[in-house]
Amino acid sequence: MNYLAHLYLSGNSDEIMFGNFIADKVKGNKYKLFPEQIQTGIIMHRKIDYFTDSHEIVKQSASRLKVKYGKYSGIIIDIFYDHFLASQWQNYSEISLQNYCLKSYKIFLENYSLLPQRIQKFLPNLIASNRLYSYKNIEGIRNALEITSKYSSLPAETDFAINVLKNYYDDFKIEFNSFFNEIIEYTKTLI
């Protein structure tokens, strides 16, 4: 799962949402340096990642990308799945996607001093580009992939990824919907 899904799966707690958002940049037991509910969000994020990475539906989705992305295929699926969540948002929330994104940005800004430095550096661009909302469109996914490949070891194969997304769009959507219903149930046991 990528940013939007992790936030959504956090429930109604601002602190858990914040912890879930920063978790990838909090290594090892450094999560213990944060307040209890933020710790809960960090641990929840790790459990969501494990559940996701080991799930057969996600593996099926990722198999379409292995030829170019290899072990990084799951990262692409995380971003694709955020697209399907954003594009079907009304099926999952009574709050509009735009308002949910604004609420999330507000939580990040209110807790700015607790953000790991790497997140502090990219947060202004994330907010200015309204990246969480942009996942709703394929161009937003393209932008997220380009940014991720520029600042990480993710292969720069964005055109390939977008073509796979378009060519298997209905398959990915079915897989996402089936998987997301399962992970919603799973995360209810974590809060």
- Per-residue confidence band for 191, with pLDDT thresholds at 50, 70 and 90: confident
Query: Using the 8-state DSSP alphabet, how is residue 27 labeled?
Result: -
Domain residues for 149? Answer: 3-188
The 10s digit of each residue's pLDDT in 146-174 is: 999 998 889 999 999 999 999 999 999 99
Mean pLDDT of 33-39: 96
> In the chain, how many domains are there?
1
The 10s digit of each residue's pLDDT in 109-129 is: 999 999 999 999 999 999 999
Please state, rounded to an integer, the average pLDDT across all residues of the chain. Answer: 96
pTM of the full structure: 0.95
Mean pLDDT of 40-49: 97
The 10s digit of each residue's pLDDT in 19-34 is: 999 999 999 999 999 9
**CB-count burial class (<10 Å; 0-12, 13-18, 19+) for 53:** middle
Residue 36 makes CB contacts below 8 A (sequence gap 6+) with none
Q: What's the pLDDT at 138?
A: 97
